[in-house]
Amino acid sequence: MTKPEQQETHDAIIIGAGVTGIFMLHKLLGMGMDVTVVEAAARLGGTWNKNRYPGCRFDSESYSYGYTFSKEIFEEWKWSEHFAGQPETLRYLEFVVDKLGLIDHMQFGCTVKTATYDEEGRCWHVELEGGRTLSARYLCTAIGLLSAPTLPRIDGMGDFEGESFHTYDWPEEEVVLAGKRVAVIGTGATGVQIISEIADKVDQLTVFQRRPNWCAPLHNSPVDDQTHEDFKSRFDEWVELIQASPSGFAHQPIIRRTKDVPKEERYAFWEELYASPGFGIWVGNYFDATLDPEANAEFSEFIARKTRERIDDPEVADILIPKDHGFGTRRVPLETRYYEQYNRDNVRLVDVSKSPIECITAKGIKTAEEEHEFDLIIYATGFDAITGAFDRMEIIGRDGEKLADKWMDGPQTYMGIQVPGFPNLLTLAGPQSASHGSNFPPAIEAVCGWACGLIEYMRDNGYETCEPTNAAHEEWEKSVREAYGNTLIPTAKSWFTGYNSNIEGHDKMRYLVYLRGAVNFRSELVDVSSNGYRGFDIR
Ligand code: NAP
């Protein structure tokens, strides 16, 4: 392949200006490289720019979601809440970019159409929508794990005369909710947040739920000045705590089996977890709560009881309590007065599993039983997780092989960072890395740091290309699969297991996530690099 004339050339191109792209850019610039970020949106922030729906916030403790690589940034940015909302997180990322002087290295409104490996030039050519091309030795994808939204496949969606949008495409301008009859389809983490937030702001809210999720209280609260000072003074200790946690959150699993703890003691502990902020209830529980079917069933029953206590109508409660999977086998939505919203007169729950949606009409949603009229339909129907963002562009490796074809039956990677046949493509936050199975920013700091170490090693030794061997990839694949088998995760259909009913072919298990935890993942990274980048063919 010959390089087009007058092509913009860099050492590295990063696709995406979200949490990952920002950090990778900072690291590569620090190594003296010529780097550019191409971002499809008109501004930075990735997920935190796009998800503007009411109630959007993270479930990680704010101080564990912010970057940990810079004490100065940690100290300078004061979070207003223990679990900050989307506008604040976006402001935080803007602050980081400003502080590190990164904006001039970012190009916005640049959607990547194709990325093609040039064997002869040992570089990647990237073609943007509109025809402009760039090239670089290294191509780094920082395209998010939940950035390809999926709409349901329901007849008549285009006929609806009111407003409708997917939560990911929530408009920047204000959406008037007061006085509106609103439908929300979907009750994952997004649906749960939006329902909780808007129930008392709209005229009528109708929730269309197919399968309920196990939810638990977030217990958010403001951060006062004293607390911020405490965090500042404990920076090293705090980072250590996060680094030592398999989940990357400020919670550690309890290394005791559920049944080894006397009943009274374990129920008292569970009550404590239910009353505590954040993901402790999921990842700070007895370690076997999501591994052992018996322990999981008992804990799920505890959560079912807590849930029932909050809902007035037992029939509604019954619809809201999962029967097809145990607690924590899918992503647990954390909520603020979610279940109490179903006690309101203006909120109605439709069980789509019993009353399927037949079609969308000009006026609303028609189920087998009735036609519901709406002014606004909100699709909180999730994402083509992890691989979806890759499929939206054409990535072509050696000998014209397309990544989408290679990954047709599930992703194939080594360390979640590279793919055989795609030299110098670094899939940061790609499938089979730990960034999806743990708190995202700390995981991504580890992955980007490691990828930069690899680039530095290549540069120092005069190497030009790097890709995994097939043998290393196969071994990695096997280990990722085996890790699934050690948990109860495969017992539930969700994006963790690669299912999405709205996409053809995504009706079977795919192994998308590294489930051995952040601590093990970091050790594997170190083990590979300290053994001469074992499993990589570096030339
Ligand atoms: P999701 O968890 O995949 O949930 C999608 C929802 O839409 C499910 O309830 C699903 O039902 C329903 N659905 C999809 N297609 C449907 C159809 N054709 N008919 C009826 N219902 C349909 O997606 P999400 O809620 O957007 O969350 C995705 C991930 O984003 C989360 O797991 C989390 O990692 C992340 N997130 C994080 C936060 C946070 O940090 N606080 C907030 C929001 C999201 P079924 O369950 O039956 O498939």
Residue 28 shares a structural domain with residue 139: yes
Residue 140 shares a structural domain with residue 158: no
Asked, for residue 234, whether it belongs to a domain, the answer is no
Segments of 16-162 assigned E as strands: 35-39, 106-108, 112-118, 123-128, 133-141
Residue bearing the CA closest to ligand 1, atom 29: 189
- Which residues are CB-neighbours of 292 under 8 A, at least 6 positions away? 257, 258, 488
- Which residues are CB-neighbours of 339 under 8 A, at least 6 positions away? 215, 307, 310, 311, 317, 320
In this predicted model, what pLDDT tens digit does every residue of 16-58 receive, in sequence order?
A: 999 999 999 999 999 999 999 999 999 999 999 999 999 999 9
Residue 102 shares a structural domain with residue 64: yes
Q: Which atom of ligand 1 is nearest to the CA of 333?
A: 41
How confident is the model at residue 37, as a pLDDT? 98
Residue 512 shares a structural domain with residue 524: yes
- Region for residue 416 given its phi and psi (left: phi exceeds 0; alpha: psi -120 to 50; beta: otherwise): left
Q: What is the dihedral of CA 303, 307, 313, 314, to 10 degrees?
A: 0
Contact at 8 Å (CB) between 113 and 464?
no
Residue bearing the CA closest to ligand 1, atom 18: 152
Residue bearing the CA closest to ligand 1, atom 41: 58
Q: Which atom of ligand 1 is nearest to the CA of 381?
A: 7
For ligand 1, mutation pick of 82, 210, 379 (most atoms within 8 Å of CB): 210
Spatial separation of the C-alpha atoms in residues 452 and 429, rounded to whole Å: 14
Q: Please tell me which residue, 2 or 188, carries the higher pLDDT value.
A: 188
How would residue 301 be classed by pLDDT, with cut points 50, 70 and 90? very high
Contact at 8 Å (CB) between 478 and 535?
no
How confident is the model at residue 5, as a pLDDT? 56
Asked, for residue 227, whether it belongs to a domain, the answer is no
How confident is the model at residue 413, as a pLDDT? 96
CA of 57 from ligand 1 middle (Å) equals 15
CA of 189 from ligand 1 middle (Å) equals 6
CA of 187 from ligand 1 middle (Å) equals 6
Residue bearing the CA closest to ligand 1, atom 2: 188
Residue 402 shares a structural domain with residue 516: yes
Q: Which atom of ligand 1 is nearest to the CA of 500?
A: 48
Spatial separation of the C-alpha atoms in residues 499 and 409, rounded to whole Å: 12
Asked, for residue 88, whether it belongs to a domain, the answer is yes
Spatial separation of the C-alpha atoms in residues 195 and 184, rounded to whole Å: 7
Residue bearing the CA closest to ligand 1, atom 26: 382
CA of 494 from ligand 1 middle (Å) equals 9
CA of 191 from ligand 1 middle (Å) equals 7
Q: Which atom of ligand 1 is nearest to the CA of 83?
A: 41
Q: Is the pLDDT of residue 4 over 90?
A: no
For ligand 1, mutation pick of 56, 334, 381 (most atoms within 8 Å of CB): 381
CA of 378 from ligand 1 middle (Å) equals 12
Q: Which atom of ligand 1 is nearest to the CA of 152?
A: 18
Instruction: Quote the number of domains for the chain.
Output: 3
In this predicted model, what pLDDT tens digit does every residue of 327-374 receive, in sequence order?
A: 999 999 999 999 999 999 999 999 999 999 999 999 999 999 999 999
Residue bearing the CA closest to ligand 1, atom 36: 189
Residue 429 shares a structural domain with residue 526: yes
List ligand 1's pocket residues with C-beta within 6 A: 57-59, 146, 152, 185-191, 193, 210-211, 331, 352, 380-383, 495, 501-502
In this predicted model, what pLDDT tens digit does every residue of 95-136 receive, in sequence order?
A: 999 999 999 999 999 999 999 999 999 999 999 999 999 999
Residue bearing the CA closest to ligand 1, atom 34: 331
Q: Which atom of ligand 1 is nearest to the CA of 168?
A: 26
Phi, psi of 172 (to 5 degrees): -70, -35
Whichever domain contains 369, its CATH number is 3.50.50.60
Q: Which atom of ligand 1 is nearest to the CA of 153?
A: 18
CA of 503 from ligand 1 middle (Å) equals 14
Q: Which atom of ligand 1 is nearest to the CA of 149?
A: 26
Residue 469 shares a structural domain with residue 398: yes
CA of 369 from ligand 1 middle (Å) equals 25
How would residue 242 be classed by pLDDT, with cut points 50, 70 and 90? very high
How confident is the model at residue 309, as a pLDDT? 98
3-state SS, residue 151? coil
Asked, for residue 2, whether it belongs to a domain, the answer is no
Q: Is the pLDDT of residue 6 over 80?
A: no
Residue 140 shares a structural domain with residue 195: no
Q: Is the pLDDT of residue 3 over 90?
A: no
* Mean pLDDT score across all residues of the chain: 97
Asked, for residue 24, whether it belongs to a domain, the answer is yes
Spatial separation of the C-alpha atoms in residues 501 and 371, rounded to whole Å: 23
Mean per-residue pLDDT, 461-478: 97
Asked, for residue 295, whether it belongs to a domain, the answer is yes
Asked, for residue 159, whether it belongs to a domain, the answer is yes
Q: Which atom of ligand 1 is nearest to the CA of 379?
A: 7
In this predicted model, what pLDDT tens digit does every residue of 418-447 receive, in sequence order?
A: 999 999 999 998 999 988 889 999 999 999
Asked, for residue 233, whether it belongs to a domain, the answer is no
Spatial separation of the C-alpha atoms in residues 26 and 102, rounded to whole Å: 7
Spatial separation of the C-alpha atoms in residues 36 and 128, rounded to whole Å: 13
304: tokens are 């079912």
Residue 406 shares a structural domain with residue 532: yes
DSSP string across 324-365: SS-TTSS---EESSHHHHTTSTTEEEEETTTS-EEEE-SSEE
Residue 391 shares a structural domain with residue 460: yes
Side-chain half-sphere CA neighbours of 261 within 13 A: 20
How confident is the model at residue 437, as a pLDDT? 85
Residue bearing the CA closest to ligand 1, atom 12: 186
Of 296, 330, 364, which marks where a domain is finished?
Answer: 330
Dmax (CA) for the chain in angstroms is 74
Tell me which H or E stretch contains 538: strand 536-538
Q: Which atom of ligand 1 is nearest to the CA of 382?
A: 23
Spatial separation of the C-alpha atoms in residues 346 and 269, rounded to whole Å: 36
Q: Is the pLDDT of residue 502 over 90?
A: yes
CA of 394 from ligand 1 middle (Å) equals 26
Residue range of the domain that includes 494: 8-148+385-538
CA of 375 from ligand 1 middle (Å) equals 22
Residue 412 shares a structural domain with residue 507: yes
Residue bearing the CA closest to ligand 1, atom 23: 382
Of 330, 348, 369, which marks where a domain is finished?
Answer: 330
Residue 197 shares a structural domain with residue 342: yes
CA of 151 from ligand 1 middle (Å) equals 11
